[in-house]
Chains A and B, each alone.
Chain A
């Protein structure tokens, strides 16, 4: 065997066992009928997919898209200036990049739990505000869409900042000088030069945030308190409480296809270069 084949073998076996095979199983399940106590039964059917068109589920789909979109927009609004700042920070660049990556030193789960202690009625924010007598009753900060948004933005902001930074870092500084030279004030330089020139980087970062947000499960579960149901929670629910594996599989596939479609559209555009 050639070295190339040999060295790729572990990865191939791994991907086959733990990616291709499970995916095939999910695909097969999505066309079967639910068993009475979980599991799947014959006959083959398309009903799982037609059920997704039910207004109840469409609402959840729409809600997921809306929240993921909002989280992405917030990541862009906060991440773009931050990435721009870091890219122009000179010697301190690497320090700031380390700080952006700092949250990754602890687990995703722990970080999300931490927000419970900040947002809950007896949490950090409410304790401080009541302590200062600014409010008489605790603010309802937890278990709503706002809390979910906070969690999503917090967790996925680095996924936007890093590719955005890479794009802005490559930006020719002479372009900014030329713009200033032609009379553009700093804000006009950002708006008329930096944003349009780095648009592919913005789109790339947005995709990297939007796709995981769309399928988010843990954050809406913990911070939304089950009230704020997103697609990820629906799928999880089908495999546990609802015991409807075929419908859960169908919903997973729809989510995956939607993400794949979005990615392939972007890959064909200039954005691909930024993602590579």
Chain B
């Protein structure tokens, strides 16, 4: 038996309890369990905002998404990370309603939405190239969805959303008059103003220049925290996914390789693919070690986790130096060493120099 009730007074007592939380409490599933001791005790189990069950998408000749399952909790920042063609965008499009799954279920806030059209789903998408309506001003773009819902206070609400993305000054500008970053914000405001259960973002930062990208990244995260809306962010950039997400799913060839927190996927990757995709990796036999965990020494280190090799080249990266070493077995490995500070430690290696690479057993990653 399911009922929609909420622990309203409790939340209202919290000073910082915002509207979102109230909404979440209201939509939480309550389960009545009859126990001999205390009859009618009510347990609240939060219902996931989105659940993908064995979702697949086949196209003639190739399988874009293969049997993926994923559960997103309310109010989190989630990412789908993968190279282009890994099925992440197809997955997003199935959630948005732009593609029909071949098999499996998309469950939004407890109900199966497989057959619902995009305009019937309470999710919103920020498109890769923003897809702003070129004939409408920034304000009218943001108002579009509200007008479609016949909202009475559409203009003030749209103005508040523009204010949230700090674009009030550009309310009467047409998209052609806006910069890339501004278009991005309008697209974000246009979706956020509808307070969707789930916001889908399809590589929204890909079209921005690197400096702006970092700034928008911080703003996206802040926006997510401020609104409490669940974000599902699609990207091919591991740095974006790691820095933004509460949890991320790494996709490869239509499957989810691993779903976990940034720390989990980076430090304890489930597969060799995940390990390699999230950062460089040195292979010492069956053990994989990240360059930043790989030490370099001229003297024989007092550990059995070591390999000898010759310095092939060094790469100055500003905040660190990458020393490329050719191992005795013929493999290559990278040791990331801090930039030389004063003369405390001599981190300058010359080409051809014989060195030892060593690491700690705890930093080893092993896969089947």
Chain A residues proximal to chain B, CB less than 8 Å = 172, 174-175, 177-185, 188, 192-193, 196-197, 199
Chain B residues proximal to chain A, CB less than 8 Å = 96-98, 117-119, 123-125, 127-129, 131-135, 144-145, 148-149, 190-191, 194
Q: Which residues of chain B are within 8 angstroms of A177 by Cβ–Cβ distance?
A: 96, 98, 118, 125, 127, 131
Determine which of B97, B128, B134, B144 lies in contact with A182 in the assembled complex, contact meaning CB atoms within 8 Å.
B144
Q: How many whole Å from B23's CB to the nearest CB in chain A? A: 19
Q: How many residue pairs at the A-B interface have CB separations less than 8 Å?
A: 63
Determine which of B119, B134, B135 lies in contact with A181 in the assembled complex, contact meaning CB atoms within 8 Å.
B119
- 14 A-B residue pairings within 8 Å (CB atoms): A174-B131, A175-B131, A175-B134, A177-B118, A178-B131, A180-B98, A180-B117, A180-B118, A182-B119, A182-B190, A182-B191, A183-B148, A185-B119, A193-B133
Q: Contact between B190 and A197 (Cβ–Cβ < 8 Å)? A: no
Q: How many whole Å from A198's CB to the nearest CB in chain B? A: 10
Chain A CB within 10 Å — which of B119, B127, B191 has the most? B119
Q: How many whole Å from B242's CB to the nearest CB in chain A? A: 28
Q: Which 9 A-B pairs have the closest CB atoms?
A: A182-B145, A174-B131, A178-B131, A183-B148, A180-B118, A196-B135, A181-B125, A183-B119, A180-B119
Q: Contact between A197 and B127 (Cβ–Cβ < 8 Å)? A: no
The chain B residue sitting closest to A198, CB to CB, is B135
The chain B residue sitting closest to A183, CB to CB, is B148
A177 to B149, CA, bound (A): 17
Determine which of A178, A182, A188, A199 lies in contact with B194 in the assembled complex, contact meaning CB atoms within 8 Å.
A182
Determine which of B96, B131, B190 lies in contact with A172 in the assembled complex, contact meaning CB atoms within 8 Å.
B131
Determine which of B96, B128, B134 lies in contact with A197 in the assembled complex, contact meaning CB atoms within 8 Å.
B134
Q: Contact between A183 and B145 (Cβ–Cβ < 8 Å)? A: yes
Q: Which residues of chain B are within 8 angstroms of A174 by Cβ–Cβ distance?
A: 127-129, 131
Q: Contact between A197 and B119 (Cβ–Cβ < 8 Å)? A: no
Q: Contact between A184 and B148 (Cβ–Cβ < 8 Å)? A: yes
Chain B CB within 10 Å — which of A178, A180, A199 has the most? A178
Q: Contact between B149 and A178 (Cβ–Cβ < 8 Å)? A: no
Q: How many whole Å from A93's CB to the nearest CB in chain B? A: 19
A199 to B133, CA, bound (A): 13
Q: Contact between A178 and B125 (Cβ–Cβ < 8 Å)? A: yes
Instruction: With A177-B127, A182-B145 as known contacts, state yes or no: A197 contacts B118, CB within 8 Å.
Output: no
A272 to B258, CA, bound (A): 54
Chain B CB within 10 Å — which of A174, A182, A188 has the most? A182
A181 to B134, CA, bound (A): 17
The chain B residue sitting closest to A182, CB to CB, is B145
Q: Which residues of chain B are within 8 angstroms of A175 by Cβ–Cβ distance?
A: 131, 133-134
